[in-house]
Amino acid sequence: MRPGEVDGKDYYFESKDQFLKMIERDELLEYALVYGDYKGIPKKQIREYMGKGCDIVLRVDIQGAETLRRILRNSAEFVFLVVENELALVERADSRDELLVRIAMAREEVKNVRNFDYVVVNVEGKLENAVKLVESIIDAEKARFGRGMLLFDLFCCQEVVLCIFVFFRRIVFYLFIYFVFIQSFVL
């Protein structure tokens, strides 16, 4: 946990043992080992917001994006969020070693930009512009022909990795450097 982060607000923090048990019990939509820390998305949390009819924003890395693409196939729109320049990564790193890792990973990840449907540049100090652009993408995808609301109860069908939807409205997955917009998902 970084200074200023609050359990239950910024993230939900679990012990390594508890996290591994969550993996074993198939309680996570997606998970990965990132910079030495386990990170994942609890299905239960997604279910709660889906039940309220909310669009959902989730943070994952490129590995998570690839996992979600395999799960969702053509049912998602992917948005690549990239920093304006590498200097923005300097402020996010806690140490020189972490900075070098982040820059190397960012350079590697940007090679995957062609796997995404949209690209949004997050200009330093202009986060609100990136947010508005992503909101516009979401609105446009919601209005796209053939993207009507679908009803699913995937948990009744079977426990699959995605099995999150009590009913299916639009979902937005916020990725650490990417966004995934789920349109429809059919088993």
| CATH number of the structural domain spanning residue 112 | 3.40.50
Alpha carbon distance 160, 109 (integer Å): 27
Q: Is residue 1 included in any domain, yes or no?
A: no
Q: Is residue 11 included in any domain, yes or no?
A: no
pLDDT of residue 48: 83
Pairing relation of β-strands 178-182 and 171-174? antiparallel
Q: What is the extent of the structural domain holding 27? A: 16-182
First to last CA, the chain: 37
Write the single-letter amino acid at 121: V
Per-residue pLDDT tens digits for 129-171: 988 998 898 888 877 765 544 333 333 333 332 323 322 333 3
Site of tokens 């540049």: 121
Q: Is residue 5 included in any domain, yes or no?
A: no
Which residues make Cβ contacts (< 8 Å) with residue 142, sequence separation at least 6? 170
Write the single-letter amino acid at 164: I
pLDDT of residue 20: 92
Per-residue tokens: 103? 């820059």
Across the range 6-21, mean pLDDT stands at 76
Per-residue pLDDT tens digits for 97-131: 877 777 787 788 888 888 888 888 888 778 889 88
Q: Is residue 90 included in any domain, yes or no?
A: yes
Q: Is residue 94 included in any domain, yes or no?
A: yes
Q: Indicate the average pLDDT of the chain.
A: 69
Per-residue tokens: 15? 């012990």
Alpha carbon distance 65, 122 (integer Å): 18
- Find the range with the poorest average confidence among 47-56, 89-98, 132-141: 89-98
Percentage of residues in the chain having pLDDT higher than 90: 6
**Type and span of the H or E element at 102:** helix 96-109
Q: Is residue 7 included in any domain, yes or no?
A: no
How many domains in the chain? 1
pLDDT class for 25, splitting at 50, 70, 90? very high
Q: Is residue 100 included in any domain, yes or no?
A: yes
Q: Is residue 10 included in any domain, yes or no?
A: no
Alpha carbon distance 145, 138 (integer Å): 14
